Amino acid sequence: MKQQINYYTLLYINENETSLGNGLSGKYSEKIEKYVNCCSSLNSSLILHNQPKLKVITNNAELINKIDSNLDCIQMKFKTKVDSSIPFASAHCKLDVFSYFSTLPENCYSILLDSDVLCINDTAPIMKNIASGIPIAYDITDQQFQGIGTERVCKDKELLIKKVLREKTDFMSSGFWAGGEFIGGTADFYKTLYNMCKKILPVYLENCKKLFHNGDEMIVSCALEILIRQKKVFVFDAGTLGIIGRYYDSSTNHVQHIWKYFKKNMFVHLPMDKDFLGTKKLDFSSSEKLMSSLESELYKNRTFIRATVRADCLLQKLTAAFYKTRALIKQLSGHGSEPVVY
pLDDT digits (tens, 9 = 90+) for 258-308: 899 999 999 999 999 998 898 888 999 999 999 999 998 888 765 445 545
Domain that holds residue 342: 301-342
85, pLDDT greater than 70: yes
192, pLDDT greater than 90: yes
Is the domain of 271 the same as that of 328? no
What whole-number percentage of the chain has pLDDT above 70?
Answer: 86
342, pLDDT greater than 50: no
Is the domain of 193 the same as that of 335? no
Is the domain of 246 the same as that of 181? yes
In a domain, 156, yes or no: yes
Is the domain of 235 the same as that of 316? no
Is the domain of 134 the same as that of 251? yes
What whole-number percentage of the chain has pLDDT above 90?
Answer: 65
DSSP category for residue 272: T
Is the domain of 278 the same as that of 312? no
Is the domain of 187 the same as that of 234? yes
In a domain, 228, yes or no: yes
Is the domain of 307 the same as that of 234? no
Give the span between the Cα atoms of 216 and 342, in whole angstroms: 41
What pLDDT score does 129 carry? 67
DSSP category for residue 3: -
Is the domain of 171 the same as that of 208? yes
The CATH number of whichever domain residue 143 belongs to comes to 3.90.550
In a domain, 289, yes or no: no
In a domain, 296, yes or no: no
Is the domain of 309 the same as that of 278? no
340, pLDDT greater than 60: no
In a domain, 287, yes or no: no
In a domain, 182, yes or no: yes
Q: Is the separation of the CB atoms in 256 and 168 below 8 Å?
A: no
In a domain, 295, yes or no: no
Between residues 17 and 102, the one the model is more confident about: 102
What pLDDT score does 305 carry? 54
Is the domain of 219 the same as that of 339? no
Is the domain of 237 the same as that of 338? no
In a domain, 181, yes or no: yes
* Angstrom distances, CA of residue 273 to CA of 98, 189, 197, 212, 276: 26, 31, 29, 23, 5
Domain count, the chain: 2
User: Alpha-carbon dihedral of residues 91, 93, 97, 102, nearest 10 degrees?
Assistant: 120
CA 5 to chain centre: 19
